[in-house]
Amino acid sequence: MSDTAAAPRLVPEGIRPTKVGVWFAVLTLVVGIAGTNTGNNALYMVLAVMLATLAVSGLLSRNNVRHLEVEVSPPAELFAESGAVFRVSVKNRGRYSSRWLLVVSVSDDSSSTLFPYIPKLESSEGTIELTFEKRGLYNLKAAHLATLFPLGFFRKGMRHAIDCEVLIYPRLRRCEWPPLESGSSLGILDSRRRGWGHELHSLRALRPGDDPRRIHWKQSARTGRLIFMEREAEENRRISIVLDNSLDLSDGGRAQERLEKRIGEAAFTALEYLKSDYQVELITRTTRVPFGNGSRQRKRVLKALAMLEAAPPNARPLSADGVREVRFEV
Amino acid sequence: MTFVREKRLLLGALAFLAVLPLPFNEPRPQGVVDLPFLFFYLLLLSIFLRQAHLGSSWRLPTWAMNVLGLVYLPVFLYELRSVGGSNLVRPMIRLLMLGLLAKLFSMKKDEQQWQVTVLIFFLFIGAMATSVHPLILVYLIGFVVLAMCLLFRFMHFHLLAVHPSVAPRTRPMPVRRLLLVCTLFTVAISVPLFTLMPRLHAPYVLGRGLPLNGGGLSTGFKDEVSLDAVGRVRSNNAVALRLKMERKQAAPPLRYRAAAYEVFENKSWSRALELRDRLRSETPTFFRLVPERPKEKMRIWLEPLGGSNLILPVEAVSVEVSGRLYADASGSVNFLTTPRTMREYRVGLGSEERLLSAAPASDPRSEPTLDRRGITPRIASLAESLVGNLAPAEKARRIERHLADSYEYSLDLVGSDANDPISHFLFTTRSGHCEYFATAMVLMLRAQGIPARFVAGFLGAELNPLEGYFIVRHSSAHAWVEAYLPGIGWKTFDPTPAAGRPGAARPDLSLMLRQAWDYLQFRWDRYVMAYGSLEQFGLLLRLRQFVSGLWQNFGPSETTPEAGPAPFQAPRFELSRIELQQPLLIAAILALLGVLAAAWRRRSRFSATRAYRDLRALLARRDPEVSETTAPLRIYDRVSSRFPEAAASAQSLIQLYLLESYAGQGLAKDETLRARQALRRLRSLLR
């Protein structure tokens, strides 16, 4: 950690002449030969100006990628194989000069953004679209700054450390929802119980000790006596997503592909249930995310699926507590 | 986004600029490109620019370009053949210009734009390499700015084209400021680079050609001069030579001798004496003309005059110059060949005039300075009646006085076409210019048996206060007489009336401007065009002296070596001799530029807010109720109630002000124009 802190934020990535720059250098050489050969001072003047232009171009180019601060902000959720828009903010910390025509990219295969002009001590914001092929944890270590400024002779690069860690959730694979398995796995009709949930279970006469806040006033008015609302127990809206992540290694890459597919389907299913206000639990051979709902649970489930690795076939058995479960097997 | 229109416009503008100096470049007077051809080129370029401006998609087909090339090929070969390989510049430049036009009109892809850029670059090189004019520096800077603009814009367009994602800008890009900074940096770096780059050859300078009006108005001093040559050249203000006294307080010599002529025939003077004895030098560059120690030293920079004469003051006793020198029997000193570039030499001056020439032969038949051609009986009798039996010196003085007192100086060439122009001058018109006076005196002296010759040169020099050197212009060309007086030798007489002698020009604005321009041109020639390895060496020596001088100021003092006459050196930088005027001039120019830049910035920063404030201030002068806190609509009310004729303009301006200030958007061009017009009208109405 201390090494990272001590490391310079901006590291030069070298300078590369462009095609235009190479042509300019060749023409400079031609003028130099002509001037030296003839002794014509007008040609020496042109030569001096051309060399000075090269020098100025190099100096301004170098200055253009210095004293910059880059911040990359990922979006809230990132899914594999789908583009995500990162917000990039470039701040010009230079006191004396503006920054021109900066191209910022985060990785080699990312799209890049052009920052045409950043005045001194000001910042500019743009977006970069990034696509991650696989789920998992990624560490975006650096943003790459490149510039052709001022005349397009050189491409000057600079790497800016950003240390941006992003968790890529599995690609959501649409599947039949709910994917009903054989008979008893979803005994919705039989297992309705009273409880403290949100759905209405039944109406009955008010008894001593009942919570007066649950009196159904409309029915009480209609019947002439106090009617109490009984609600369904929460576990009636609970579902366990059971994902068997054990892999037969002899099957090689295809098994892994199938596992990825199942993970994507499990993620999709879990999100759909969560969207329908179910309490969802995720059970795999290596991980267990207990019941929960809402956005926190969504994150927990997605994180667990993002980090899920294949388990050996002899890993611990799958067992679900819930009444209902959706099972995904490779 | 391909930005084709913008790219074409930029390339067209650069192609326009690239050729501008060509017709004024060497070889003169015709220039590198004929004016009609240049007009043809510029016409086609204007059509191209208009097409580009309108966004036309028409392109010259490739087959048409090939046909044009095939058609031009024999013309090009003919041109090459006609110049005989000696001067390839003109046909090559013409080929480049035509090729550039064809490429511009047929340009389709991005690569072709770069090909066009390279062609333009070579045209620019052609324009630079054939130029000797100081204004080429302005051209160079202008071209650099435009080329930088083109490169920057091309790169910008490229980046915009390949990057669909562009961060929004909060402010417009100050491209003009960027170009200014780039240019300043480039110029600042290129000056030391130019100074220090190794010179392997002596500087090659294309000679500055004779004035555009042709050789007829140049002094020339060829082997033969007509009677009107000097009279005609008096209208030419071009510089013939410049001189600088090494001791600042010393006055410059008055008379600069170029050539002496002995034979007067067919209304013109010619040399009778064959050249030339090679002058022997004591050192490779030092020639002693007269065995006498010089009292003063001066430097002369001689422009190419079209003749081989080395112009020397009549007091010259030595000359230091690189190359061979030859002298004829009349004492004129010549180079072997006609100089095509500016020549610098150093002259030692004696206390009085020293004429090199030997005594004439005693036999009048073999002595050209006693040649009787042109002497009519009437001229002889006039001479006789003037001088009688006086001594030769007194005779000469009397004839000189008679001509100067009794005749008028005139540049009207009346009578120059007469059969005997000198008789016509002496007995009919009684007015003429210096050549008539000098010729008349020579003939009258010869009629009296006194050897005499006609001398052409320059009289007087004009001080250029900017550097303290003297300018001798073609208009100072003059003719006078040298007569041989027994016991005295050759002596100068000038029968031209004082009013007709070249005098100091009146110090007016045009003279100041001419002098300022000459100062610039002189420096340009010495320090830029003729800058070579010797100058670099001299500069390094001076730098070393400067550093060691600094060191000596802090270190122990040393005895100064005894000052002696400095040996002649080729032109060099004179850092220690920078006059006070120069920094002042530079400061004045910079101040002027600063004022202009400030005015330009003020103009470019026009806004409706500023215009509104101006309106409020104008109104406050006329209406005490208006102050800085008065609201815009209230101001409108005041204007409409007190100055109803200005109400419409005020309304328009206030609307634009509100739009600019509160709608958060800048004004469009037409709105700015409207605001300007409204303000102008309000100023005229409210004042």
Task: Determine, for residues B173 and A117 on separate chains, whether the beta-carbon distance falls below 8 Å.
Answer: yes
| Residue B425, both tokens | 């001058």
- Amino acid in the structure at residue A23: W
pLDDT given at position B101 = 93
Per-residue pLDDT averaged across B449-458, rounded?
Answer: 91
pLDDT 10s digits, B22-58? 887 766 556 678 888 899 999 999 999 999 888 888 8
Q: Are strands A154-169 and A78-79 parallel, antiparallel or unpaired?
A: parallel
Per-residue pLDDT averaged across B16-26, rounded?
Answer: 86
Task: Determine, for residues B155 and A149 on separate chains, whether the beta-carbon distance falls below 8 Å.
Answer: yes
Question: Hey, is the C-beta of A151 within 8 angstroms of any chain B C-beta?
Answer: yes
Task: Determine, for residues B165 and A113 on separate chains, whether the beta-carbon distance falls below 8 Å.
Answer: yes
pLDDT of residue B566 exceeding 50, the answer is no
Task: Determine, for residues B125 and A46 on separate chains, whether the beta-carbon distance falls below 8 Å.
Answer: yes
DSSP secondary structure, B34-75, as one string: -HHHHHHHHHHHHHHHHHHHHT------HHHHHHHHHHHHHH
Find out whether the peptide bond into B299 is cis, omega within 30 degrees of 0: no
| Residue B493, both tokens | 């007489």
Per-residue pLDDT averaged across B228-238, rounded?
Answer: 75
CA-based nearest residue in chain A for residue B140: A46
Closest CB from B166, B182, B204 relative to A40 = B204
Closest CB from A27, A42, A59 relative to B129 = A42
Q: Give dist(CA B84, CA B87) in Å, integer.
A: 7
Residues of chain A with pLDDT under 50: 1-7, 179-191
Residue carrying structure tokens 């200005």: B646
Please classify residue B39 by burial: count the beta carbons closer than 10 Å to its beta carbon, then call 0-12 exposed, 13-18 middle and 19+ buried.
Answer: exposed
| Residue B291 binned pLDDT confidence (cut-offs 50, 70, 90) | confident
Question: Hey, is the C-beta of B196 within 8 angstroms of any chain A C-beta?
Answer: no
Task: Determine, for residues A42 and B187 on separate chains, whether the beta-carbon distance falls below 8 Å.
Answer: no
The residues that bridge with A200 in the sheet, in sequence order, are A231
Chain B positions in Cβ-Cβ contact with residue A31 (cut-off 8 Å): 125
Chain A positions in Cβ-Cβ contact with residue B131 (cut-off 8 Å): 42
Residue carrying structure tokens 């003279």: B511
Q: How close, in Å, is residue A20 to chain B by CA atoms? A: 8
CA-based nearest residue in chain B for residue A24: B118
For an interface test with A, give the residue of B25, B197, B201 to mutate (most A CBs within 10 A).
B197
| Residue B215 binned pLDDT confidence (cut-offs 50, 70, 90) | very low
Least confident of A181-195, B71-85, B469-483: A181-195
Q: Are strands A99-105 and B263-265 parallel, antiparallel or unpaired?
A: unpaired
Per-state percent for chain A, helix, strand, coil, to nearest 5: 30, 35, 30
Task: Determine, for residues A40 and B530 on separate chains, whether the beta-carbon distance falls below 8 Å.
Answer: no
Question: Hey, is the C-beta of B600 within 8 angstroms of any chain A C-beta?
Answer: no
CA dihedral defined by B75, B80, B82, B85, rounded to 10 degrees? 180
Query: Cβ distance A155 to A65 under 8 Å?
Result: no
Query: Cβ distance B301 to B257 under 8 Å?
Result: no
Q: Check if the interface score ipTM surpasses 0.95.
A: no
| Residue B644, both tokens | 């109803």
As a three-state string, the secondary structure of B428-485 is: HHCEECHHHHHHHHHHHHHHCCCCEEEEEEEECCEEECCCCEEEEEHHHEEEEEEEEE
pLDDT 10s digits, B139-160? 999 999 999 999 999 999 989 8
Average pLDDT, chain B: 83
Residues 188-217 of A with CB under 8 A from B: none
Backbone CA torsion sign across B14, B15, B16, B21: positive
Per cent of chain B over pLDDT 90 is: 22
Q: How close, in Å, is residue B191 to chain A by CA atoms? A: 7
Residues 21-40 of A with CB under 8 A from B: 23, 27, 31, 34, 36-40
Closest CB from A52, A113, A129 relative to B189 = A52
| Residue B98, both tokens | 């035509």
CA-wise closest residue to B310 among B293, B331, B329, B284: B331
Query: Helix crossing, B434-447 with B377-387: angle to 10°?
Result: 80
Q: Give dist(CA B194, CA B295) in Å, integer.
A: 38
Find out whether the peptide bond into A75 is cis, omega within 30 degrees of 0: no
Least confident of A28-42, B59-73, B552-566: B552-566
Chain A positions in Cβ-Cβ contact with residue B529 (cut-off 8 Å): 41-42
Task: Determine, for residues B174 and A52 on separate chains, whether the beta-carbon distance falls below 8 Å.
Answer: no
pLDDT 10s digits, B385-435? 988 888 889 999 999 999 999 998 887 765 566 778 888 888 888 888 888
Q: How close, in Å, is residue A171 to chain B by CA atoms? A: 25
pLDDT 10s digits, B166-214? 888 777 889 999 999 999 999 999 999 999 998 887 776 655 544 433 3
Chain A positions in Cβ-Cβ contact with residue B124 (cut-off 8 Å): 46
Per cent of chain B over pLDDT 70 is: 88
Question: Hey, is the C-beta of A47 within 8 angstroms of any chain B C-beta?
Answer: yes
Chain B positions in Cβ-Cβ contact with residue A72 (cut-off 8 Å): none
Q: How close, in Å, is residue A50 to chain B by CA atoms? A: 8
Task: Determine, for residues A103 and B159 on separate chains, whether the beta-carbon distance falls below 8 Å.
Answer: yes
DSSP secondary structure, B160-176, as one string: HHH-S-BPPPSS---HH
Query: What are the two backbone dihedrals, phi and then psi, of residue A111, each rounded to the nearest 5 degrees?
Result: -75, 160
Q: Give dist(CA B571, CA B579) in Å, integer.
A: 18
Closest CB from A34, A41, A88 relative to B529 = A41
Query: Cβ distance B21 to B131 under 8 Å?
Result: yes
For an interface test with B, give the residue of A37, A117, A144, A154 to mutate (most B CBs within 10 A).
A117
Task: Determine, for residues A34 and B193 on separate chains, whether the beta-carbon distance falls below 8 Å.
Answer: no
Residues 3-22 of A with CB under 8 A from B: 20
Backbone CA torsion sign across B317, B323, B324, B325: negative
Task: Determine, for residues A114 and B167 on separate chains, whether the beta-carbon distance falls below 8 Å.
Answer: yes
